[in-house]
Amino acid sequence: MTDKIVQLVSGQLSPAEERELRKQATTDPALARELQQASLLWAALPQTARAETSVALWDRIFEATITKNPQPPRPEPSYTSRPLVPFWIPAGSIAFLGICITLFQPLVYQASGRVEVSSKDKTLSLSDVSLLLVLNNTVEHFKTKLVRKRAAEPMTNGQSLCSYTVSRVEATTILEITAEGDNPSAVAETVNFVMAEGIELLESPLKGKIIEKADVPSAPIRPQKGPNIAFAILLGCVVGGLLQLIRRS
């Protein structure tokens, strides 16, 4: 510690010298630190000791003070000092997004009907390979462009033919036609007209008959609003809880 610093804190420097020393401290971090430490020591000295301005005495006081009062290590910030995202923000956001997606999804209706295909030859049975081959070909027959074109003509109210699938019920000669679309009456008409036109265009020796007509569906098959909304709320709660655990780890 220099004489200048001791004289500054004890008030023995002239105003010009004090200004010059403080100006130097603005560009010299070490000098600024010594000035601060000296000011603190001066404030802590009893009145009787302030008359002594010996630099050596001040150095001894300074060293004793630092030795007896070491600077404690700065504590590391714990998780409690970190700002936590409130639980309801991620939970509510995910739940709200899931509910919106569910509510704004297009409605999908489904209708299905069944056709029984048989051979005019009464001697054929399901065990005959030839009949099985014919049935497999019949599935493709109901998907042909000609059947689709003929089935689209009688559609009412300017509706177009919906997409549909044809499959054979296992171990039977029954074909199931299923249609899906956003219009309940259109899906029912699609199934019924495809079955009717497909039977009419069947080639000999096959014949067919409608055993189950398609009804207009009263409710959509997708989306299932109740389960979807419940799942969105549950997912939001789970994600919100996980975020809290991650922030605390």
pLDDT in tens, 170-229: 878 899 999 999 999 999 999 999 999 999 998 877 888 999 999 999 999 988 777 878
For CATH 3.30.70.1130, the residue range(s) in the chain are 109-212
pLDDT class for 79, splitting at 50, 70, 90?
Answer: very low
pTM (predicted TM-score): 0.55
The token pair that represents 133 in the structure block: 């081959």
The token pair that represents 55 in the structure block: 């630099």
b/e map 150-186, b = 16+ CB within 10 Å: bbbeebeeeeebbebebebeeeebbbbbbbbbebbbb
Angle 176-167-179 (CA atoms, 0-180°, nearest 5)?
60
**C-alpha 39: how far from chain center:** 58
User: What end-to-end distance do the CA atoms of the chain give, in Å?
Assistant: 47
Q: What is the mean pLDDT of residues 119-129?
A: 58
Write down the pLDDT at residue 187: 96
Is 109-212 assigned to CATH 3.40.50.12780? Answer: no
Q: What element of type H or E holds 206?
A: strand 206-212
The closest of 113, 116, 119 to 134, measured between CA atoms, is 119
pLDDT class for 12, splitting at 50, 70, 90?
Answer: confident
